[in-house]
């Protein structure tokens, strides 16, 4: 686990898996908007809870990590190996955490 690029690969795979697991829940909530507006309002009232806001931050983090990880992979395929990839991978995680934190701060 001492290899940062292996960690970046693992983080990209895990974030993709967790986002894929989230999609059915997202589609279910969207279906509530079409089928039952009262159920949707009831569900959306849960989003005011601090734990849900923290979970939303985690979701934004996963999405940002997955996007930046995908960009890193595309750069690796198109540009070849460079010595700055470890820095780019760490920067991608930092940008993802920053985006998720900004989302959380705006949601509070």
User: pLDDT tens, 6-65?
Assistant: 888 888 899 999 999 999 999 998 888 888 888 889 888 988 899 998 998 899 999 988
Residue 20 CA to residue 53 CA, distance in Å, equals 20
- Look at residues 73, 55, 83 and name the one whose alpha carbon lies nearest to residue 13: 73
pLDDT value at position 7? 82
Query: Is 66 annotated in some ligand binding site?
Result: yes
Task: Please give the Cα distance from 94 to 61 (Å, whole number).
Answer: 10
Give the per-residue pLDDT at 2: 67
- Name the DSSP letter for residue 49: S
> Which tokens go with 23?
């999609």
pLDDT tens across 66-100, in order?
A: 988 888 778 777 776 677 777 777 788 888 888 88
Q: What is the pLDDT of residue 100?
A: 87
Which residue's entry shows tokens 């010595």? 83
What integer pLDDT is reported at residue 4 of this predicted model? 73
């Amino acid at each position: 686990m001492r290899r940062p690029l292996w960690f970046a690969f693992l983080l990209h795979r895990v974030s993709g898996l967790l986002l894929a697991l989230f999609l059915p829940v997202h589609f279910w909530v969207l279906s509530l908007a079409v089928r039952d507006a009262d159920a949707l309002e009831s569900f959306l009232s849960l989003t005011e809870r601090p734990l849900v806001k923290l979970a939303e931050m985690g979701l934004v983090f996963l999405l940002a990590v997955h996007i930046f990880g995908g960009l890193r992979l595309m750069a690796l395929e198109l540009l070849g190996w460079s010595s700055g990839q470890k820095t780019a991978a760490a920067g991608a995680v930092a940008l993802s955490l920053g985006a998720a934190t900004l989302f959380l701060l705006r949601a509070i």
